[in-house]
Amino acid sequence: MTHTTSGDGRRVVVVGAGIAGACVADHLARETECDVVVLDRAADSGTETTAKSGGFVGFWGHESPACVPLLGYGMRYYQRLLSGTDPPARFVHGGRLRVATTAAGDADVRADFADAFGRSTDGETTTECLGAPVQYLPGDRLGETLVLPGLDTGAVTGALYSPGVGHIDDPGSLSRGVLDRATSNGATVRTNATVTGLSTPTGEATTVHVEGDAVDQQADAVVAAAGPWNRPLLESAGVSLPVRNTRGPMLALDGEHHGLPALFHEESGVYTRQNRDGTRYVGHFPGQYDAASVLDPDDVPTTVSSSRRASCLDAVADLCPAMRDAAVVDDWVGVRQVTPDGDPIVDEADVDGLSVVAFNANGIQYAPAAGRIIADQITGREPSLPDAGVAFDRFEDSQFERQ
């Protein structure tokens, strides 16, 4: 896709050097005349929320109509980025299997399939397509439809199989690779730069305060792409962000390759992912907006609690009995953003010159489209992606609490 160069040398400060900020900087640096500066609180870019994620990319089957073209753009972006001779990360195929192990869980899986595709499963194998195929499989058909080494298929009452889902093997490296492309096109990245707030003396987001700096950063436009740190940043400019948070615990287990797709257990919210070195990541997703709260990311423990560790390991052992004796070799906790309707927020805020990027988890999937949308908005170009579905103002006068 070809875009005209514009921007007239405007200075754009991007707050956050994870995959969201990296993709915004990449689009602006490659395609506009803007002076792009990226500020990040960490000592190295891509080491916070992005690095702590599961790195999943693909059509899950429940995407809203607004998000399908955005995810499609991300697929094309990563196809080009990762097809070179020295890609910054690797994409690992394998699919994703959402499994239920109770009658109630199976009913929920079937209801979600019917809601997404407008077609009842009636307890039979059914395949529909939304961006990519998604297949419902009753539990008694799973073992004769897919080869799933190590999975206790007899315990499964129903499943959704999304073959188009894979993962980035090193999300932090991906983010740094995107930033490298931005810097090669003129962007500047500054780490160990904690942004403490924004000033809007003339009604515009023109001043960025950085901890320890004697002189404030001046900007024609500011992009808040700081993940769970977005809330206090935006509040300093008088903008309320309708986003909550959930903890993202992750365990790394030792083991050998098993050939399973990524697994998500309906009843427990526990999910797994196989790594190329044989280890397996095990995480937990507690639910969407109603299950979330407002968290200060600086106050969230960095290691997984003993109770959460035990519940995750029990769920994995019930699904894959051979993993019962697997040892935990590493663990960490990230902080997710969760939006009220499950779709990203990618838009200009009510303050002139201030833009916002906030995802409903799965930020790696939508970061390229966010970069495209923000670059178009900042430069005043005609939008090249439909952006109404991710607009900030869709929450105005709604039932969602801004807390």
Give me the CATH code for the 92-166+244-338 domain, please: 3.30.9.10
CA atoms within 13 A on the CB side of 16: 28
Rounded Cα–Cα distance for residues 273 and 167 (Å): 8
* Fold of the CATH domain 11-87+170-242+341-395: FAD/NAD(P)-binding domain (3.50.50)
Q: How confident is the model at residue 397 (pLDDT cuts 50, 70, 90)?
A: low
167 φ/ψ angles, rounded to the nearest 5 degrees: -145, 155
- Please check whether residue 191 is in contact with residue 40, taking contact to mean a CB–CB distance below 8 angstroms: yes
Q: How confident is the model at residue 4 (pLDDT cuts 50, 70, 90)?
A: very low
- pLDDT tens-digit readout, 285-301: 999 999 999 999 999 99
Place of tokens 């915004």: 24
Strands (E), 200-278: 207-210, 217-218, 221-224, 244-253, 262-265, 270-274
Say whether 174 sits in a helix, a strand or coil.
Answer: helix
Out of 127-136, 217-226, 242-251, least confident range: 127-136
CA nearest neighbour of 344 among 20, 7, 18, 15: 20
Place of tokens 């309707």: 341
Q: Which long-range contacts (CB under 8 A, 24 or more apart) does 74-80 make?
A: 74/365, 74/366, 74/367, 74/368, 74/369, 77/23, 77/368, 78/168, 78/368
CA nearest neighbour of 164 among 127, 139, 137, 138: 127
Give the pLDDT of residue 403: 44
Quick one: CA torsion of 35, 227, 295, 387, rounded to 10 degrees?
Answer: 100
- pLDDT tens-digit readout, 323-360: 998 999 999 999 999 999 999 999 999 999 999 999 99
Q: Where are the domains of the chain?
A: 11-87+170-242+341-395, 92-166+244-338
Distances (CA, A) of 165 to 52, 90, 91, 144, 287: 18, 14, 10, 21, 19
Residues 6+ apart with CB under 8 A from 176: 22, 44, 45, 46, 88
Percentage of residues in the chain with pLDDT exceeding 70? 96
324 φ/ψ angles, rounded to the nearest 5 degrees: -60, -35
Summary mean pLDDT of the chain: 92
